Amino acid sequence: MLKLLGQRLVLGILTLILVSALIFAVTEWLPGDIATNILGQQATPENVAAIRAELGLDRPPYERYVEWLRGAVDGDFGTSLANKRPVADVIGPRLWNTLFLAAYAALIAVPLSVFLGILAAIYRNSIYDRLVNISTLAAISMPEFFIGYILILFLAVQFRWFPAIATFKPEQTFTQHLYATFLPMLTLVLVVIAHMMRMTRTSVLTVMASPYIEMALLKGLSKARIVVRHALPNAMAPIINVIALNLAYLIVGVVVVEAVFTYNGLGRLMVDAVSKRDVPVVQACGLIFAVVFIGLNLIADVLSILSNPRLRHPR
């Protein structure tokens, strides 16, 4: 098991290095010249050469990549081209906002989806099971921005229960934070809950077809007890994987939701940085998203291994 965990860790590190090189290369291939965009009308050949030398653009790309990666490991992502501030200072508050929204949605979506999936497995082919399947298929079919605009139309415009713009101010209390970000949180919950609920139902029903489950039924145990005590622990591996993927989406895939609700998160910062050609900020945001996605998948692999008795106790 330790060997398998080590292989997963090494594979995750190699994947992260490859993704970091891809992020750096893609930002290098963006059309236009950064120095020319910065100078604007003052872009004379002399000024452009001076700016390129100042930014290190006159050096080979591989040297700049190694320097950027070394600085990123130390927490130094360079200086923003838009406001001349350290990139870490620009990203810090936005990252906290995104993590807050993702944690808010995860604390509701994960237990609710597992609970609904277990109920759907217990009452298989019932009216409840069919209604849940129809509603989750509908939620999966609709894009995030459409769900967000529907929630704004009814809950913010017509009934005026929640604000349409998710403001996040330091002077707000924790309760005010929860209230202000309720609509983007609900949008994310409706998007991710369908995948996790359906995977929970499918995994539990797959285990329910095992011979030892049939023996438990013949002994007279209740179906609910069989699902919770016997089927669910053996169905945890795929459930953990889909939960990890959706948790990664809550952090990495919130760009559209943050744009819809004008939420000052990391995804919206990345979109603004792309429009301003603020390459250091774009690279830092992309690398953070990659670290989160690969890290959560690595954690899911480890938890799946630990939840499998055949790997914990090899013969």
| One domain for residues 170 and 296 | yes
Whether 311 shows a pLDDT value over 60: the answer reads no
Distance (Å, whole) CA 189 – CA 253: 13
Total tally of structural domains belonging to the chain: 2
Q: Is residue 71 part of a domain?
A: no
Encoded tokens for 218: 């013949």
Let me know if 42 is exposed, middle or buried by CB neighbors in 10 A (0-12, 13-18, 19+): exposed
Residue range 109-123: mean pLDDT, rounded: 87
Task: Tell me the CATH number at 244.
Answer: 1.10.3720.10
Collapsing DSSP to helix, strand or coil, 214 comes out as: helix
Q: Is residue 31 part of a domain?
A: yes
Q: Is residue 292 part of a domain?
A: yes
Encoded tokens for 246: 């959706």
Identify the pLDDT of residue 47: 65
| One domain for residues 33 and 132 | no
Q: Is residue 250 a contact partner of residue 188, using CB atoms and an 8 Å limit?
A: yes
Q: Is residue 115 a contact partner of residue 200, using CB atoms and an 8 Å limit?
A: no
Identify the pLDDT of residue 31: 64
What pLDDT, in 10s, does the model give residues 29-68? 766 666 666 656 556 666 667 766 766 666 777 888 888 8
Identify the pLDDT of residue 221: 77
Identify the pLDDT of residue 182: 92
Q: Is residue 89 part of a domain?
A: no
State pTM to two decimals: 0.82
| One domain for residues 179 and 257 | yes
Q: Which domain holds residue 179?
A: 94-312
